[in-house]
Amino acid sequence: MQKKSLLTVLAGHEFLKEFHNGHLELLTGCAANVRFDADKMLFEAGGGADRFYLIRKGRVAIELPVCKRKIMTIQTVGAGELLGWSWLIPPYRWHLSARALEPVLALSFDGKCIRGKFDRDPALGYEFHRRFSRVIAARMENTFLQMVGLSD
């Protein structure tokens, strides 16, 4: 079986669909394929947020620690979805945690590297912020609906 290039994998991910090819090429320098076993933490609330993930396979629970021993799963993300935006907003700390529910294959992006690309190419930064804003808004709405009992 022939391995796909990282550029091809990026171009095929739902979040990056129709991204300008020159921008995809810039992103490859900040990206890596990663794997997580089931029950492995991708990040934990309070830790430094230095990356984000585009999930390729598997499911990840987004968790909120509500007291010292209780964890609430507020959402689950899977293939084709984005995970993590705290790397984008100072002071770059995770507010939630993320745990692999099953084996996960993802693209991991170095946040500092990506922010540096934004400085050099404002159009790339604009497009990223536009796409991230849509995801953030949808997740917040889903969480609010869940909190008031109007959603699963």
Band (59; pLDDT cuts 50, 70, 90):
very high
Give the model confidence (pLDDT) of 131-148 as tens digits: 888 888 887 887 777 677
Residues 6+ apart with CB under 8 A from 107: 9, 10, 13, 31, 32, 33, 34, 53, 54, 56
The per-residue pLDDT of the chain, averaged, comes to: 89
| CA neighbor of 59 nearest in space, from 80, 79, 44 | 79
Task: Judge contact between 53 and 135, C-beta under 8 A.
Answer: no
Q: What is the pTM of this model?
A: 0.87
Task: Judge contact between 44 and 95, C-beta under 8 A.
Answer: no
- Report, as an integer, the average pLDDT of 92-96: 94
User: What kind of fold does domain 6-111+120-147 have according to CATH?
Assistant: Jelly Rolls (2.60.120)
Between 24 and 152, where is the model more confident? 24
Give the model confidence (pLDDT) of 10-41 as tens digits: 998 888 988 888 899 989 999 999 999 999 99
DSSP letter for 118, please.
Answer: H
Chain-centroid distance of CA 88 in Å reads 11
Task: Judge contact between 129 and 68, C-beta under 8 A.
Answer: no
